[in-house]
Amino acid sequence: MTVRIQTADFDAGAEIAALRAGNPKIGAVASFVGLVRDVNEGERVSQMTLEHYPGMTEKAIEEIVAEARTRWDICDALVVHRVGALKPGDQIVLVAVAGAHRGDAFAACQFVMDYLKTRAPFWKKEHTGEGARWVEARASDEIAAGRWRSKG
Partner 1 sequence: MVTVLYFARLREALGTGREQIELPPGVRDLDALRALLASRGGAWARELAPASTVRGAVNEAMARGDTRVADGDEVAFFPPVTGG
Residue 6 to residues 26, 59, 100, 148, Cα–Cα distance (Å): 27, 15, 29, 28
| Options 84, 102, 123, 147; binder of partner 1; rule CB under 8 A | 123
Separate counts of helices (H) and strands (E) for the chain? 4, 9
| Options 36, 65, 77, 93; binder of partner 1; rule CB under 8 A | 93
Binding residues for partner 1, total number by CB under 8 A: 29
Q: Would you count residue 51 as binding partner 1 (CB under 8 A)?
A: yes
Q: Would you count residue 122 as binding partner 1 (CB under 8 A)?
A: yes
CB 31 within 8 A of CB 96: yes
Segment contacting partner 1 by CB under 8 A, of 6-14, 15-23, 49-57, 103-111? 49-57
- Rounded Cα distance between 95 and 102, Å, is 15
Alpha helices in 21-90, H assignment, sequence order: 56-71
Residues making up the chain, counted from first to last? 152
- Shortest distance (Å) from residue 20 CB to partner 1: 23
Per CB under 8 A, residues contacting partner 1 are 34, 50-53, 55-56, 59-60, 81, 92-93, 113, 116-125, 134-138, 141
